[in-house]
Amino acid sequence: MNTHNVCTIASGDDMKMKGFSLIELMIALAIIGVISSIAYPSYQGYIQDTYHAQAQADVKACGLALERFYGNGFTYVDGAAACTLWSPASGTEASREYSLVVTANAPGQAYSIKATPVSTICDGSCYTLQSDGTEIVE
- Is 7 within the bounds of a domain? no
Our CA angle for 133, 65, 82, nearest 5°, is: 130
Instruction: Tell me how far CA of residue 91 lies from CA of 5, 54, 107, in angstroms.
Output: 73, 11, 33
pLDDT score at 18: 82
The arithmetic mean of pLDDT across residues 102-126, rounded, is: 93
For residue 111, name the pLDDT band (cuts at 50, 70, 90).
Answer: very high
Number of domains in the chain: 1
- Is 131 within the bounds of a domain? yes
- Is 15 within the bounds of a domain? no
- Is 133 within the bounds of a domain? yes
Residue 47 CA to residue 40 CA, distance in Å, equals 11
- Is 8 within the bounds of a domain? no
| Structural domain span for residue 131 | 20-137
- Is 78 within the bounds of a domain? yes
Q: pLDDT tens-digit profile of 3-13?
A: 555 555 555 55
Phi, psi of 129 (to 5 degrees): -120, 130
pLDDT score at 5: 57
Residue 121 CA to residue 6 CA, distance in Å, equals 79
Residue 120 or residue 98, greater confidence: 98
How many percent of the chain have pLDDT more than 90? 79
- Is 69 within the bounds of a domain? yes
- Most distant pair of Cα atoms in the chain: their distance: 115
- Is 61 within the bounds of a domain? yes
Q: pLDDT tens-digit profile of 38-71?
A: 999 999 999 999 999 999 999 999 999 999 999 9
